């Protein structure tokens, strides 16, 4: 008797259980986006946190796929670029359509609004939520509920600023109210009637009421304004929540001992490399009064699921995995990936009590960090060999040594590490996997979510 036929009775009872669940509970989506969280960044965090035999909570989800990251050229939308940004990739996850770098749910070159799954969910009467460790006006949350030519059009004062490095077709002018546009991202978010908005970006929202009383602005749109961790933890779930816990992005959870990051290898006058000493990660004292991503996620899930017979769509972003990788800050990056994974853990716990929930964990694009050999390796080969970018040796929680390198933009001029073009992982829970090929793309992730909710986008 084969393994498969032995499994059949269990399989059939699972079928029955799921068929029952289908009728009892509303369909929900929780989409977790780890910004810049490719498999290399995940391995780095896993090694640091749990060692070579460990696994993250997201890696314990039942199903894995991998997504191509696809980006059109603004100057020729018939062709692709092979490195993306968070704006165009979050737009594709939100809209199921491709676009160009910098765009927020608008089409490459032609600047047409692309309708989003959050908007479709609202129309169907589902509740919606956006949670991020970034400013809520940042590209990833923005792409699910707003439409602008460029991610920089965050607040009213941004609308008249020229964006030097962006194409003429991607300036904020076209989105100005005076030209018939929908205005800045902050303004569009406030009027989008989203049930839960939790993250950073107070300074962008304050502007939208001429800079004076954010409390009144929020109230005028029906929101209870939260600005402190304690307020979040004690909030009444039966209210529309606007939580703005920082002027811009939230402080990160971890930093390196003595604030250390990766650094260029120092060379002496003979050209011999001097490798930096190992360090560990510690809690960032600046984060103390800030809610964790897990706390924001749990609050959002409580609000969205309370007395809700119609289901919800929730997007949760771990934004600073990417932002800390840009800064060559491995402890910042690992701490944020850990925080993200804890939020995923809360999401997984929620699905146990709400089995008609599709939980997807993915990333928008790759990042620069790589795990490379230790100093002893380079010194063993001799001939003054060393990694050419920014390098750190971490003393991991398991007491071992792991070296990481960021080397996409040369010291000393390289201002920031760069995104890479690698595929990103997709972890899934709450699907039988029948419509999940092992290689997919970000449009298919959008389609999978729509199918789970039984929705279509208005452009379809």
List the interface residues with a copy of itself, window 258-317 (CB under 8 A): 265, 271
Q: Is 430 in the site for a copy of itself (CB under 8 A)?
A: no
Distances (CA, A) of 37 to 158, 185, 456: 29, 24, 29
- Tell me which of 130, 226, 407, 445 binds a copy of itself, using CB under 8 A: 407
Q: Pick from 152, 217, 342, 408: which binds a copy of itself (CB under 8 A)?
A: 408
Q: Which of 354, 346, 359, 237 is nearest to 302 (CA)?
A: 237
Q: 167 to 196, contacts with a copy of itself by CB under 8 A? A: none
Q: Per DSSP, which regions of 208-284 are E strands?
A: 223-226, 240-244, 254-256, 263-264, 266-267, 273-274, 281-283
Q: CA gyration radius for the chain? A: 22
- Where residue 42 falls (left for φ over 0; alpha for ψ -120 to 50; beta otherwise) is alpha
The phi, psi pair for 211, rounded to 5°, reads 85, 5
Considering beta carbons, is residue 98 or 197 the nearer one to a copy of itself? 98
- Closest separation in Å from C-beta 316 to a copy of itself: 20
**Smallest distance from a copy of itself to CB 231, Å:** 38
Of the listed 86, 91, 132, 305, which one is catalytic?
A: 86
* Contact region with a copy of itself (CB under 8 A), list: 17-25, 149-157, 232-240, 339-347: 17-25
Identify which range of 119-127, 129-137, 346-354, 431-439 contacts a copy of itself by CB under 8 A.
431-439
Count the alpha carbons within 13 Å of 357 in the hemisphere toward its beta carbon.
23
Using CB under 8 A, pick the residue from 25, 26, 68, 282 that binds a copy of itself. 68
Under 8 Å between Cβ of 190 and 184: no
Contacts of residue 295, defined as CB under 8 A and 6 or more positions apart, other chains included, come to 229, 232, 233
How many residues form the binding site for a copy of itself (CB under 8 A)? 92
Task: Identify residues 433-452 at the interface with a copy of itself (CB under 8 A).
Answer: 434, 438-439, 441
Q: Quick one: tokens of 107?
A: 């089409």
Structure tokens at 254: 């971890």
- ω before 412 within 30° of 0 (cis)? yes
- Whole-angstrom CA distances from 388 to 292, 380, 382 are 35, 17, 15
Spell out, one character per residue from 208 to 237, where the chain touches a copy of itself: x when CB under 8 A holds, - when not. ------------------------------
SS3 for 134? Answer: strand
User: What is the nearest approach in angstroms of a copy of itself to the Cβ of residue 76?
Assistant: 10
Residues 360-389 that bind a copy of itself (CB under 8 A): 366, 368, 370-374, 377-378, 380-381, 383-389
Q: In angstroms, how far is CA 53 from the centroid of its own chain?
A: 26
Please choose, out of 120-128, 251-259, 295-303, 405-413, the segment that lies near a copy of itself by the rule CB under 8 A: 405-413
Q: Please write down the HEC assignment for all residues of 369-386.
A: CEEECCHHHHHHHCCCCC
Rounded to a whole number of angstroms, the minimum distance from the CB of residue 69 to a copy of itself is 8
What does each C-alpha distance from 454 to 27, 120, 350 come to in angstroms? 9, 10, 21
Catalytic residue flag (residue 305): no
Between residues 81 and 239, which has the closer beta carbon with respect to a copy of itself? 81
Tell me which residue of 144, 238, 162, 251 sits closest to 199, measured CA to CA: 251
Q: List the one residue from 173, 239, 418, 447 that touches a copy of itself (CB under 8 A).
A: 418
Say whether residue 52 binds a copy of itself (CB under 8 A). yes
Under the criterion CB under 8 A, does residue 409 sit at the interface with a copy of itself?
A: yes
Beta carbon of residue 386, minimum distance to a copy of itself (angstroms, whole number): 6
d(CA 80, CA 421) in angstroms, rounded, equals: 12
Options 11, 220, 236, 238; binder of a copy of itself; rule CB under 8 A: 11
Given the rule CB under 8 A, which of 116-124, 201-209, 252-260, 410-418 is the region that contacts a copy of itself?
410-418
Residues 75-114 touching a copy of itself, rule: CB under 8 A, are: 79-83
What positions carry a catalytic annotation? Answer: 86
């Amino acid at each position: 008797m084969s393994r498969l036929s032995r499994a059949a009775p269990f399989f059939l009872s699972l079928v029955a259980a799921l068929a029952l669940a289908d009728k009892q509970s509303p369909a929900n989506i929780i989409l977790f986006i780890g910004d810049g969280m490719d498999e290399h960044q995940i391995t780095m965090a896993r090694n640091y946190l749990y060692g070579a035999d460990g696994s993250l909570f997201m890696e314990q989800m039942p199903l894995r796929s991998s997504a191509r990251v696809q980006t059109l050229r603004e100057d020729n939308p018939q062709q692709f670029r092979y490195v993306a940004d968070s704006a165009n990739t979050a737009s594709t996850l939100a809209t199921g359509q491709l676009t160009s770098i910098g765009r927020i749910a608008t089409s490459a070159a032609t600047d047409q609004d692309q309708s989003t799954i959050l908007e479709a969910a609202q129309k169907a009467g589902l509740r919606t939520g956006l949670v991020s460790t970034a400013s809520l006006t940042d590209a990833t949350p923005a792409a699910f509920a707003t439409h602008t030519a460029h991610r920089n059009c965050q607040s009213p004062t941004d609308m008249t600023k020229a964006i030097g490095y962006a194409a003429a077709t991607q300036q904020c002018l076209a989105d100005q109210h005076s030209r018939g546009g929908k205005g800045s991202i902050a303004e569009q978010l406030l009027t989008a009637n989203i049930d839960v908005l939790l993250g950073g970006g107070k300074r962008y929202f304050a502007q939208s009421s001429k800079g004076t009383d954010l409390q009144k602005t929020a109230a005028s749109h029906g929101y209870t304004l939260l600005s402190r961790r304690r307020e979040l933890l004690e909030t009444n779930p039966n209210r529309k929540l606007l939580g703005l816990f920082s002027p811009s992005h939230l402080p990160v959870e971890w930093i390196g001992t003595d604030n250390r990051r990766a650094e260029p290898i120092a060379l002496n006058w003979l050209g011999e490399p001097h490798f930096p000493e190992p360090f560990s990660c510690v809690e960032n004292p600046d984060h103390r009064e800030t809610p964790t991503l897990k706390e924001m996620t749990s609050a959002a899930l409580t609000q969205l699921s309370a007395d809700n017979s119609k289901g919800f769509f929730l997007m949760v972003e771990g934004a600073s995995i990417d932002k800390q990788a840009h800064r060559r800050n491995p402890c910042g990056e690992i701490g944020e990936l850990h925080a993200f994974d804890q939020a995923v853990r809360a999401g997984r716990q929620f699905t146990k009590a709400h089995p008609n929930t599709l939980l997807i964990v993915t990333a928008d694009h790759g990042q620069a960090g790589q795990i490379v050999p230790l100093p002893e390796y380079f010194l063993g080969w001799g001939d003054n060999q060393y990694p050419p970018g920014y390098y750190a040796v971490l003393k991991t929680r398991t007491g071992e040594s792991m070296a990481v390198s960021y080397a996409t933009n040369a010291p000393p001029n390289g201002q920031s590490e760069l995104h890479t073009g690698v595929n990103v992982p997709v972890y899934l829970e709450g699907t039988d996997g029948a419509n999940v090929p092992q290689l997919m793309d970000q449009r298919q992730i959008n389609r999978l979510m729509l199918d789970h909710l039984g929705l279509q986008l208005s452009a379809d």
